[in-house]
Amino acid sequence: MRLCFNILPPGSVFVHATYNVSTGIYVKMKFHPIYIIFFYCNAIKNSHEVDSASFLTQNRTRIWYKNLTDTVSPDNPYCKICCIMTSKGKLGKACGKHTMCIYNDKAVGPSCRGFLEIPFSNEEIEAIVDAHNTMRNKVAMGLETRGNPGPQPPASNMRAVQWDKELALIAERWAAQCIFANDICRDSNRYPVGQNIAKGSSALNSDLSFIIDWYNNVDTFARNKVNNFQVKPSSALSQYTQLIWAETYQIGCARVAFQRGSGSNVTYREHFICNYGPMGNIPRHPVYKIGEPCSNCPDGTGCTVEYRGLCGSEKVFEVALEKLTETTKVLLRQGISGRGNHSLSVLMYLFILYLYIMIRI
């Protein structure tokens, strides 16, 4: 590859100094009165060997952040959100710094060399949600024996989580900056939003392994801290407490990959980010309420079928009914409403009871 530059004012002027010398290595030319300074520099052989991040100073990073605000419309509703922040055990606010305000949808960070956005398939989304709910259910049922000290007490109000597109979109926007840190402001108009982040080699790590790593911080969580959260938000332990925070009921995640290293040493690093709403890790608030699973569920929710320790809007009957054929649904509804053959209604009731028992086993 050849790079050509036109530069003003011109250099290489006869009998003019190349620059004023302070320190360096120089060789006096035998037949010319000019001193030429030699410095070793690496030639650019291939453009893909240049690490853009190596040219980025902290000052340039700050300027880059600042300039990005000019690319976003002042009518952007996210620019009006003041986010809840936790710092040093206190709650504060951050205004005008929302990820969806600072970065527009075309913005990719200067460290994102070889950037790849990797959308989730529907099956992967289901796996991420299931992983969260499985771990939350383990704690809620009182089955987690680990801790410092353990075991962890059961939860009476822990909710099942569902996927949320807005939370995923905000996570995508932040992931596209290729910065391994929590963003400053990511709240929704509906609630404050928490966040967990992870990184690893895209060839060696799976997204589920990141979630497991967050959960495994339970090893250092004291059971007597459940009623009063006092963990530093920046600590690894806060990843566990956010993952199992009882009042959180929606999540949205994103992943990206980008190049690190140069030449033959180029590898891809993956960043995996999950946003949680409502946020957890609120100082001096309970991680969850201790008690019999599902005994203190929010109004309109109850124990779910698949996760018996979690509160959800999908009640046992509705979930079981969803598994029936359309014809059976019609017959069952007729029996419940008093229409149709009474014997058939009894049989259908017995069938739904059987199905319920089989699901619960």
pTM: 0.69
Count of beta carbons in the 10 Å neighbourhood of residue 225: 16
Q: Which tokens is 308 given?
A: 């018996």
Three-class DSSP category at 253? strand
Q: Which of 81-90, 135-144, 341-350 has the highest mean pLDDT?
A: 135-144
CA-based nearest residue to 257, from 184, 198, 193: 198
Query: Which element (helix H / strand E) includes 83?
Result: strand 82-87
pLDDT band at 141 (very low <50, low <70, confident <90, very high): very high
Mean pLDDT across the chain: 77
Strand 267-277 relative to strand 311-312, pairing: unpaired
Q: Answer for the pair 246, 289: CB distance below 8 angstroms, yes or no.
A: yes
Domain boundary assignment for the chain = 65-301, 315-360
Using alpha carbons, list the distances in angstroms from residue 261 to 118, 146, 153, 204, 229: 20, 39, 46, 17, 40
What distance in Å separates the CA atoms of residue 105 and residue 119, rounded to the nearest whole number? 15
Res 240 pLDDT > 90: yes
Which residues face 162 on adjacent strands? 250
By mean pLDDT, which of 54-68, 93-107, 208-222, 291-305 is the weakest?
A: 54-68
Decide which of 3.40.50.1860, 1.10.3720.10, 3.90.550.40, 3.40.33.10 is the CATH code for 65-301: 3.40.33.10
- Residues 275-316 have pLDDT tens digits of 999 999 999 999 999 999 999 999 999 999 999 999 998 654
- Residues 199-231 have pLDDT tens digits of 998 666 788 999 999 999 999 999 999 999 988
Task: Please measure the distance between the N-terminal and C-terminal CA atoms of the chain and give it in whole angstroms.
Answer: 66
* Count of H-run helices and E-run strands, the chain: 9, 11
Q: Where does residue 261 fall: left (phi above 0), alpha (psi -120 to 50 degrees), or beta otherwise?
A: left
Is the torsion defined by CA of 192, 238, 153, 216 positive or negative? Answer: positive
DSSP state of 55: G
By mean pLDDT, which of 27-31, 93-97, 112-116, 356-360 is the weakest?
A: 27-31
What distance in Å separates the CA atoms of residue 132 and residue 309, rounded to the nearest whole number? 13
Three-class DSSP category at 323? coil
